Chains A and B, each alone.
Chain A
Amino acid sequence: MGKTDRITERQLTVLIFVSLLSPMIRILPTAAVVFGGRSAWLSPFVAFVAGKLLLSFMNALRKKVPEGTGLADMVELGLGRGAGKVFNVLCALWLTFYAGFVCRSAAERLLSTVYPNGSVTVFIVVMLLIAVLTASGLTKSLSRTAEVLMPILVGVIAAVLLSAIPDVSGENLLPVTYRNARDILYGAVPIFNVMTGFVYFLFLSGHVRKDTSIRPNRFPWLVLLALTALGVTFFTLGTLGEKLAVSMENAFFMVIRNIRVFGVVERVEAVVVAVWIVTDFIFMAALLSIVAEIWRTVTGVKKRTAFVPVSAVLAGAAAFLIARDAFAFQKWSDVLIPAVNLTFTLILIPAAALVGRLRKKY
C-alpha cells in the first residue's frame, strides 16, 4: 500500500475543469460581450471548436511520451537541458505571478459582491495559506477534491441559471445573422483564452498513470466548460441586454443578485460567490502544485513540497503589489493577463513541445 502519487487521465481532466471555472466566471460574460455584442452567446461554440483543436494537438504530442514524463520533462528533452530549464523557469515564474493574480482576483470579487466593506488582505492571506496546505500534499488528493466538489459546482451553477430563466428576454439575444459571424469569432477569443489554461496542467501529466486495465472513461471537460460559458453568457445577456452587461464589472453576479427562489431564498449571490471561491482555491492550489512540479524538474530535487511555500510567498507578493486599486487591477485583468496567458498557452508551450516531437525526442 505505498503512497504513490498517481492519478488517472480522468482525474486530471476533472481538476482542469474545476480550476478553469474560476477564470471563466471572472471574464464572462463581459469580455465576450464586449467583443461579440449581442451574438456573444454563440461564441462558446466557436471557442469549443478551437479548444478541441488545441487539445487534440497537445494530446497528439503527448501520445508517445513514456509514463512519468510531464511537460517540463518534455520541454527539457525537446529544447535541450539548458534551454529547457530556462524555458521551464520562465513558465514557473509566470505561473507564480498568475497564481497571485488569481488570488487577488478572487479577493476583489468578494469585495465587489458580498463583502463591500472588507479588505483584500484577509482573503488573500487565508486563500494563500489554504492553497499552500493543499499544494504541499499529493496531486491525487487535490484531484480527488476536485472530483468530489465537481458535481456540487455543476449543480449550483445549473440551479442558478435555471432560476434566471424567467428574467431572460429573447429580445436581448436576437437577432443573430451571418453578419454577426465576425462578432461571434471575436467574442470567442476570451473564452478560448480561458480554455487554453489546460496547457498548464500538462506539467502535471507526469503523475498520470497509463493504466490499460482501466477502460477509457474520458471526462468531457471541454464540453462542460463550453456549456458553462454558454449558460453564463446566454442568461446574463438575456437578462441584462448587451449594453447593460458591458457596463457592469460582474454582470453574472448582478444577475444572480436578483434571483428569487420561490420566495424562500432571496439573494443567492453570497452562496454562489462562496462556492466559486472553491474553484479559485483549487485553481490556486493547482497552479502552486504545477510551479512546484516545474521547479522539481528543473532542480532535480525529489520532494517538491519545498518549493510550495516559497512560490506561495511570491504569489502573495504579486497579489498585493499587482495593483493599488480595482481600476488598475481591471487593466491587468482585461488586457495584460489575457495577452500573456495566450502567448504562453497558444504559442510558447505548444511550440516547445512540438520541437521535441520534431526532433524525435519522444
Chain B
Amino acid sequence: MLRERNKSPEPPKIGEDAPVTVAAMEAVFRDCYDFESRELHIGGDAANRVRLCFIDGLVSGSDVAEQVIRPLTDPERFSDVRGPAAIAMLLGGSVYVYTAKSRDKLGDAAGDLLNGFCALIFDAERTAVTFEVKSPQRRSVEAPKEEKVVKGAKDAFVETMKINTTLVRRKLRNPHLKIREFPLGERARTSAALVYIEGFTNEGIVAEASRRLGRIRAEGALTSAVIEENMVDNYRSPFPQVISTERSDKFCMNILEGRVGILVDGLPLGFLVPGTFSQFMKVPEDHSGHFIIASALTLLRYLSVALTLLAPAFYVAVAMYHQEMIPTRLLQSMIEARASVPFPTALEVIMMLLAFELLQEAGIRLPSPIGETVSIIGALIVGQSAVEASVVSPVVVVVIALAGIAGYTMPNLDMGSALRICRFFLVLAAIFLGMFGVAIGCALLTYHLSTLESFGVPYMTPFAGSEGRHLSRALLRRSMTVKRDREPELKTGDGGEAKL
C-alpha cells in the first residue's frame, strides 16, 4: 500500500526527437522543483508571447535578466516582431549572450537546459532558441592535491569541463588541437570530450577512442571507473591501462607525445590513452628536476616495484624452504628472534600483510586528522607491540614495512594497488612451492602483462614489442637540450594540415 501511495504516475512518453513545445518541455521536467517556466512578451506586446525556460541553479539569474529578458522585452528592439523573424533576430545577436543555438528537437533543447542554458520556446514554430547563461558557481582552479610537485604548474583540473578545456587550450595553442564532445550515459547525459591534435595523433587511436567512448552504456559517467573500465582493452586486469591525472601540464605533455586525452564534465581528472606500464612509473617531477636525478629516481621506482612485489614472497620462500641462503649470523639471530613466536612464518607474513592493508584502508577512510593519527599509532602499536609480545618476529615487520614503503613510491595509485594484490598471490605461491613458486608466479605475472595491449600498443613497451630500442626512454630521462623523439609506439603523424 505504501508502494501504491508513493508511486508517481507514469510520465508521458515523449521522444528526444519530438518537436520542441512548451507542453513537451514542461512534461519532461515535471516534478522538478528547480525547473522554471515563465511567459515573456516580446517587445512588451502581450499578444506576442514566448516561453522562457531554465533550471534554477544552473543559470545565472542576473545574466538571464540582463542579457535575455531585458532586450527581448524592449519594445524598441523587438517591435512587432513575431515568430521566425523574432527567432532570426535572437540568433543574429539582438540579445547579448555569446552563445545562441536554434533547437527544433526536444532532446537537444532539454540537454541545453541541463547544461546551464535558458530556452525561449516558440510553440507555433516548434523551435527553441537557447542561450548559454551558466551560473559562475564552480570550484576554482587550485593546486593539485595528489600529484604534488615543487617546481611544476599548480593548476589542476576541476569538475567543470569548460574550465578544463580552457586550461588545455592555454597550454596547447595549436589550431589543430581538437576537442570533440561526446554525451555519456543514457540518463545522466554527462559531457565528455576527446582531445587530440589532428594530423599528429594517430588516427587509428583517435577513431578507436571515439568508438569506445561512443559505446559506453552506463547510466552516467559520474565516476572514473566508468571511463577506465570501458576504455581499456582488458577490463579484467587489475593493472591500470588508462593514465589518469589531475594535472593539466601532465595531460598536455602526453597529448604532445601522441596520446589521446579524455575530459569528463564532473570529474576533476584527465584520462589519457594508450597507457603503458612504463608511463605509470613516471611522475611530473621528472621533468622539473635535473635529468640525472630524475633518471636515478626512475630507476629507484623500478627497484621499488621489485621490492614491493618480491620482498615478502622472497622472505617466505627463504625462511620456510631455503634457509641455506641466509648468512650464518643473520640466521642465528633469526632463530633466536623466532624462538618465542608461536605462529609459523607463513601465517606471520600473511597476518602482517593484512594488518598493513587494514591500517592503510583505515587511514584513507577516516577524516584526515584522525586518519593520520590512526595510521601512525596503528603502525607503532602493531609493529612495536606485536614484536614485544612475540606475536611476530622483527624481521617480518622489517620486510613487510619495506615492501609497503616501496609500494608507496608508485606514482600511480592504481598501479600500487595492483602490485599489492599480486604481492599476496606471490606470497601464497612461496608458501606452497618455495622459490619455485615465486619464479612461476613472476613468470605468470610477466605473461599476463605481456598479454595486455592498450589501443594496439603492447603494455610492456618498450621492454617488449619495440625491437629492443628505446629502453632508455622508460628507465632514464634525456636532457631537455636533446631533441626528444616522439614515442615510436604511438605512431604519430607529421602534425600539420587540418583535414578539410
Contacts and interface: CB of A to CB of B under 8 A. Distances in A.
Contacts of B317: 270
Interface in A254-295: 263-268, 270-271, 273-275, 277-278, 281-282
Contact of B436 (A110, A138, A149): A110
B299 interface: no
Interface in B101-121: none
Interface stretch (A46-54, A139-147, A302-310): A139-147
A329 B447 CA distance: 31
A204 to B, nearest CB: 16
| Nearest 5 A/B pairs, CB to CB | A144-B464, A144-B450, A274-B439, A147-B464, A274-B435
8 contacts: A115-B321, A126-B440, A144-B460, A148-B460, A148-B464, A219-B468, A266-B324, A278-B443
A281 B467 contact: no
A201 interface: no
A180 interface: no
A217 interface: yes
A270 B447 contact: no
Given A217-B468, A263-B327, A264-B327, A1 B208 contact: yes
A278 B455 CA distance: 29
A20 to B, nearest CB: 17
Contacts of B444: 130, 133
B440 A1 contact: no
B32 interface: no
Interface string B421-457: 0000000000001111011101110110111010110
B150 to A, nearest CB: 33
Interface string B454-471: 011010100111011100
A11 B460 CA distance: 13
Contacts of A114: 321-322, 434-436
Interface of A: 1, 8, 10-11, 110, 114-115, 122-123, 126-127, 130, 133-134, 137-138, 140-145, 147-149, 214, 217, 219, 263-268, 270-271, 273-275, 277-278, 281-282
Contacts of B324: 266-267, 270
A270 B463 CA distance: 26
A330 to B, nearest CB: 22
Contact of A147 (B204, B438, B439, B463): B463
Nearest to A264: B327
A1 B455 contact: yes
Contacts of A268: 325
B328 interface: yes
A270 B325 contact: yes
Give the interface SS of chain A, mostly helix, strand, loop or mixed.
Answer: helix
A315 B97 CA distance: 77
B405 interface: no
A162 to B, nearest CB: 18
Contacts of B460: 144, 147-148
Contacts of A274: 435-436, 438-439
Contacts of B27: none
B303 interface: no
A197 to B, nearest CB: 20
A145 B447 contact: yes
B325 A145 contact: no
B492 to A, nearest CB: 15
Given A114-B322, A142-B447, A266 B328 contact: yes
Contacts of A214: 467
Contacts of B318: 270
A266 B443 contact: no
B211 to A, nearest CB: 9
A123 B464 contact: no
B214 to A, nearest CB: 15
Interface in B71-127: none
B468 A126 contact: no
A147 B115 CA distance: 50
Nearest to B274: A1
Contacts of B451: 137-138, 141
Given A130-B440, A265-B327, A275-B439, A141 B456 contact: no
A345 to B, nearest CB: 26
A284 to B, nearest CB: 11
Contacts of B364: none
A217 B440 contact: no
Most chain B beta carbons < 10 A, residue from A267, A271, A278, A282: A271
Contacts of A266: 324-328
Given A148-B450, A278-B439, 9 more contacts: A1-B453, A134-B447, A140-B465, A141-B450, A141-B451, A144-B450, A266-B325, A270-B317, A281-B440
Contacts of B433: 122, 126
Contacts of A278: 439-440, 442-443
Nearest to B447: A145
B439 A10 contact: no
Nearest to A1: B456
Contacts of B469: 217
A275 to B, nearest CB: 6
B440 A277 contact: yes
Contact of A281 (B443, B453, B463, B464): B443
Contacts of B325: 265-268, 270-271
A282 B444 CA distance: 10
Contacts of A145: 443, 446-447, 450, 464
Most chain A beta carbons < 10 A, residue from B322, B434, B438: B322
Contacts of A143: 464
Contacts of A271: 325, 435
B447 A141 contact: yes
Nearest to A272: B435
Nearest to A285: B447
Interface in B175-220: 204, 208
A148 B464 CA distance: 6
Contacts of A140: 465
